[in-house]
Structure 1
């Protein structure tokens, strides 16, 4: 793993967030504008990013490696769901924020940070494996993630099932079909989704910065629960996974992709989903994104070195 490439890419994404923070502070975007922008990203740009991840990609790896990575996708999210329950039991952030912290544990920044990092280390052909994780991520966040954001705490009898029918879920299912059937679409279509998906990267990070600008930064960076969460998600979780994965007979690339992705900071989609479906202002999750994005510039190179 090239530690300098990893650190540089994370700095670029963090600066995008700083740009959004500055835009809000200068009055270029209002609180209502931030909400509208988050809706645009969740419902249009993010689904395009999902589809562009699998569209017209060449499958050059064998069935064993593909199956291996699919199993690792399931393992990662099952592990994160369990660890999210463990964290709220230990940290006790309060009923109002339990589900927010669980979302922050379960959904790291796989797409916006994961894709450029993985491709810089393992090459463009490896993006198909990141796409597996992203499809799993989106199937989960646009179902279980929305469930948590509503504050129902897992009580599915109160969950409006119609919310499962949304652009993000539709794009995830369509992405699976495109990959499984190896569908080739016209280049113009592929370029469209690629350009739209690329727009999601900068705009989503800027939107997170705008949300952070609406919060009390001093309280975010002095919050013991936020600090504990940061140590838990960026250090403890990856360090637990490293020796465990060494025991499994998996390909070194599969191992490296898993470790890098599970060491990512909080995904910006968490705040967007909370704002779009949960009715909250997303300040706690935005604070977690800001803090973990900053700290991860040190922890991800450290974890990659240890791994």
Structure 2
């Protein structure tokens, strides 16, 4: 599982770059805010569109089970979080962190290494489904308690992220082939999402005491639930209606990836606790160096 550790190291180096840049005064809160808006409104939509324009997607019956599996992971996480809420009064940010995993930077290289490059398509469809959910249900979670947004409007869901997800699905279903310049644009701009997101996350960590990251028992409990318990529950649930063994294993591994950096960007957009998310990303990414190989080994033998 050398690829897992290599990806973790790359992730932390990007975060470290942002952390040091903030410490030395190269970037500040204004930079964080501006770049997070760029990511949420421009580079992330480009990533979503690149998922369907940057690869040769086969139009066959195999695609529907992938969409179903991706939606099922979200539903399983939602149900798990619902039961946890009855025991622990977690705020909506925790549900967001539990539901959305780092599929782009972690999921794609891990799945392509374990199962082969042809399965990157599966992860791309998961990314489309998750981003559609993030910019709809995720936005709802972050805005429902805001007095200014108490009267929730469907128009709030029509963000560049969700519009690009609908557009991507349309491109896929209609088998539309865009000009090479457009494909190149989506690929190039979309490629900036991960490094920029990690740099901003690292910058926000500059204002966090690391003692609060590694001594927060609640974050350890959360990481245990997200990285180990959730994948096991996902596997046990999906095995009843997903016959494709490889798809079942991929779904399980993806559900156990660490918190997505885009959660931090969205929380910054809606003035939520970005520090909590950054700490959660930090510790879940570190612990996933151990948990992902464990999950991958478990699904291979169960």
By the TM > 0.5 criterion, same fold?
Answer: yes
- Alpha-carbon offset, residue 165 of structure 1: 1.6
Q: Deviations over 1:211-269 (max 9, x none)?
A: 12222221122112111101111111112233444444522221121011100111111
- 2:278 alignment partner in structure 1: 286
1:228 and 2:225 aligned: no
1:298 and 2:290 aligned: yes
Is there any run of 5+ residues in structure 1 with no aligned partner, and where? Answer: none
When residues 274 and 164 of structure 1 are mapped into structure 2, their CA distance, relative to the original with a 3 A threshold, is same
Equivalents in 2 of 1:272, 1:125: separation in Å?
Answer: 30
- 2:203 alignment partner in structure 1: 210
Would you say the 8 A contact 1:56–1:185 is kept in 2?
Answer: no
Task: Give the secondary-structure state (helix, strand or coil) at the position aligned to 1:300.
Answer: helix
Q: Deviations over 1:150-185 (max 9, x none)?
A: 2529xx962243321211011101110111111111
1:123 and 2:119 aligned: no
- 1:57 alignment partner in structure 2: 55
Greater Cα offset, 246-255 or 51-60? 246-255
Equivalents in 2 of 1:27, 1:114: separation in Å?
Answer: 33
When residues 259 and 290 of structure 1 are mapped into structure 2, their CA distance, relative to the original with a 3 A threshold, is same
Equivalents in 1 of 2:298, 2:212: separation in Å?
Answer: 32
- 1:13 alignment partner in structure 2: 11
Greater Cα offset, 244-253 or 107-116? 244-253
Would you say the 8 A contact 1:38–1:272 is kept in 2?
Answer: yes
> 1:26-41, aligned counterparts within 5 Å?
26-41=24-39
Equivalents in 2 of 1:26, 1:40: separation in Å?
Answer: 23
Would you say the 8 A contact 1:83–1:105 is kept in 2?
Answer: no
- 2:154 alignment partner in structure 1: 161
When residues 180 and 13 of structure 1 are mapped into structure 2, their CA distance, relative to the original with a 3 A threshold, is same
- 1:105 alignment partner in structure 2: 98
Task: Kindly tell me the number of residue pairs found equivalent between the two proteins.
Answer: 297
- Alpha-carbon offset, residue 286 of structure 1: 1.2
- 1:69 alignment partner in structure 2: 66
- 2:131 alignment partner in structure 1: 138
Equivalents in 2 of 1:100, 1:203: separation in Å?
Answer: 21
Is there any run of 5+ residues in structure 2 with no aligned partner, and where? Answer: none
Greater Cα offset, 38-47 or 278-287? 278-287
Would you say the 8 A contact 1:38–1:204 is kept in 2?
Answer: yes
1:85 and 2:78 aligned: no
Which of 235, 252, 260 is residue 259 of structure 1 equivalent to? Answer: 252
When residues 236 and 85 of structure 1 are mapped into structure 2, their CA distance, relative to the original with a 3 A threshold, is same
1:185 and 2:178 aligned: yes
- 1:174 alignment partner in structure 2: 167
- Alpha-carbon offset, residue 190 of structure 1: 0.7
**What RMSD over aligned residues (CA atoms) do the two structures have, in Å?**
1.9
